[in-house]
């Protein structure tokens, strides 16, 4: 609820908020959204970026207002990763994603070479990507080395929420 953060001068942060999709302009197309955010990039790199995030062919001409929740999340992720940050902060990144898209996100993030800080109730996502768990309690912060699976083994507790 309070505190401060000191970010180093070489840290370039990308932030994926669980409600980031609400910031998309519903009247703009997928391609227009990419162009608006990266006006110096040519059409070819933006089309390639769109394709990497599952927007191929006529799908890049869809207006953002008709995109599903998962498509919106993929577009926001594409915007964030076109010029990759070295620190990703992800707040419930698997919300609104179908199983296929969730797996695509896990695979993409497993190749990411920077630092990630994420919050999720998705146990599969936690088990696949975490290598340290910070448990926030009324008594303070407890750090667990290893990933989510090791956290569960040591504490006997699972994260509340989704079982997927």
Q: Which domains does the chain have, with CATH numbers?
A: 14-120 (3.40.50.300)
CA distance 141 to 76: 30
Q: Which two tokens stand for residue 45?
A: 């790199």
Q: Which residue has the tokens 């840290």?
A: 11
CA dihedral 50, 93, 141, 13 (to 10 degrees): 20
Residue 22 pLDDT: 80
Average pLDDT for runs of 10 along the chain of length 164: 87 85 90 96 93 91 92 88 90 86 86 91 93 90 91 84 48
Q: How far apart are CA 24 and CA 30, in angstroms?
A: 10
* Dihedral angle computed from the Cα positions of residues 150, 156, 161 and 164, in that order, rounded to the nearest 10 degrees: 50
């Amino acid at each position: 609820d309070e505190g401060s953060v000191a970010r180093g001068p070489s840290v370039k942060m990308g932030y994926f908020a669980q409600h980031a999709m609400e910031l998309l302009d519903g009247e703009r197309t997928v391609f227009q959204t990419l162009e608006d955010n990266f006006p110096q990039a040519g059409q070819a790199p933006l089309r390639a970026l769109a394709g990497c995030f599952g927007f191929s062919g006529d799908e890049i001409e869809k207006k953002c207002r008709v995109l599903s929740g998962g498509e919106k999340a993929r577009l926001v992720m594409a915007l964030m990763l076109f010029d990759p940050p070295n620190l990703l902060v992800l707040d419930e990144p698997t919300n609104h994603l179908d199983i296929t898209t969730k797996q695509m996100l896990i695979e993409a993030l497993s190749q990411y070479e920077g630092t990630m800080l994420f919050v999720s109730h998705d146990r599969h996502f936690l088990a696949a990507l975490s290598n340290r768990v910070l448990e926030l309690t009324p008594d303070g912060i407890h750090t667990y080395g290893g990933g989510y699976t090791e956290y569960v083994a040591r504490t006997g507790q699972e994260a509340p929420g989704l079982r997927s």
